[in-house]
Structure 1
């Protein structure tokens, strides 16, 4: 049987809020569906496996941006090829920003991105921390926790979804994230796939189809999905309560 290979890029640098563990969520749900799957941690280009069915890039600190960018640049051609070939690439926080056109700092300095995704990260006044709820036309209702000090501009035509609560891309856009084909950038952390199993299943279905396999959530997923539903309902309830207080 084909083994689905999920690449976790730079997990030692890019794992704030456990975002690199989105790769583990994909692996476990694939196994629950009766599919063989593995996660390959990639710290350098030499670590890349021959087969890649999905890629996860988590978020790191600003102190690690230059190091992470230098390493990702060595895999620029592979990232472009994967995106063109329909390999799902999930990037979170600064991992997403590094795949963009670039990052602007408050002091005027910039970090050039890899240009895989449209838009760029720009300074904002104050850090955003809190719950976010997003309605995505492709992935449904998504919940997560956002923690970022930059807004994202230039991707108005291709967001992950519309905000129901939270700041998202900021600047009054009402949008969260960016999508270009199968390459996805988001502020949603937690990790996002654990809280949103339907999102994970969409990615897994795409992975399986490319590999000539069938995917359907296995019975064992029901238990984890129950926990995810409870967590989502609690988060949605908290957001609704906060909105009610704000409207009072």
Structure 2
């Protein structure tokens, strides 16, 4: 298990009230874990981790950032988990380890720990992923869904509407066709794009505080409401409060506008 400390560019902060200066770590520390970044981290998924870290730091929280890969000691004390997509080969490399940590993952989900699973990891958070070649990768069943490999890639900008998070904008690139079981809550309904399977109009899934989605792009830089929900949930569990000061999201809003109006 390794700990990484990335650096961040400074964005302009015009037109929006600045957050009061807080000494780094003055409000406490949040433990953020990347699940399987060595194998499940493509199509800009690293940007989700950077967004969470930066938005926490801007509000005065220190961030302990940990990479968890197969064979590492599992960081069960983490406050927030995020994992990305990967090729089928990457999923094969992590699936056995995912089964090993399944019991503790169930405990964390039941305890309300926030998690974000993108694309390939989203599929493995379901019951199984059956490749187009017929191979079956067992999942851990956090989401009540199954995925089968399709012959056509579902790719391009996508817009969805969520009852909880409003308009969610991202970029999908997958050939897996995910079917939700009756009663499984989707993350949103497709406005433009394909979503889970290109047919039923759903995108992603939500169980407790775990969010699964096919949206890359990265997802969180263009959807600060979703990023702040994950942060507020983590802060509430650790420190019994969830009031987050507003940040300047001018650049995020511009990115959303461009992505929403760009043809697939």
After TM superposition, the score normalised by the length of structure 1 is: 0.89
- Map of 1:88 onto structure 2: 114
- Mark the runs of 5 or more structure 1 residues left unpaired by the alignment: 243-248
Alignment of 1:166 with 2:193, yes or no, is yes
What whole-Å deviation, never above 9, does each CA across 1:52-97 have from its counterpart, x for those lacking one? 1111111111112211111222211121111110001110001111
Alignment of 1:195 with 2:222, yes or no, is yes
After TM superposition, the score normalised by the length of structure 2 is: 0.84
Alignment of 1:206 with 2:233, yes or no, is yes
Alignment of 1:64 with 2:78, yes or no, is no
Q: Do the aligned partners of residues 50 and 160 (structure 1) sit closer, same or farther apart at CA in structure 2, a change above 3 Å counting?
A: closer
RMSD, aligned α-carbons: 1.8
- Give aligned pairs, total: 237
What whole-Å deviation, never above 9, does each CA across 1:191-210 have from its counterpart, x for those lacking one? 21111011101111111111
State the SS of the aligned residue for 1:55.
strand
Deviation at 1:171, TM superposition (A): 4.7
- Mark the runs of 5 or more structure 2 residues left unpaired by the alignment: 1-26
> Within 5 A, what are the aligned runs for 1:1-248?
2-44=28-70, 46-49=72-75, 51-155=77-181, 157=183, 158-218=185-245, 221-222=247-248, 225-239=249-263
State the SS of the aligned residue for 1:51.
coil
Q: Which runs of 4+ in 1 moved over 6 A?
A: none
Deviation at 1:125, TM superposition (A): 3.3
Distance in 1 (alpha carbons) for counterparts of 2:34 and 2:131: 27
> When you count helix as a share of all residues, which structure comes out higher?
1
Distance in 1 (alpha carbons) for counterparts of 2:131 and 2:75: 34
Q: Is the Cα contact below 8 Å between 1:135 and 1:164 reproduced in 2?
A: yes
What whole-Å deviation, never above 9, does each CA across 1:204-245 have from its counterpart, x for those lacking one? 1111111125445556x31xx111100101112225xx7xxx
Distance in 1 (alpha carbons) for counterparts of 2:52 and 2:104: 21
Q: Tell which deviates more after alignment, 27-36 or 154-163.
A: 154-163
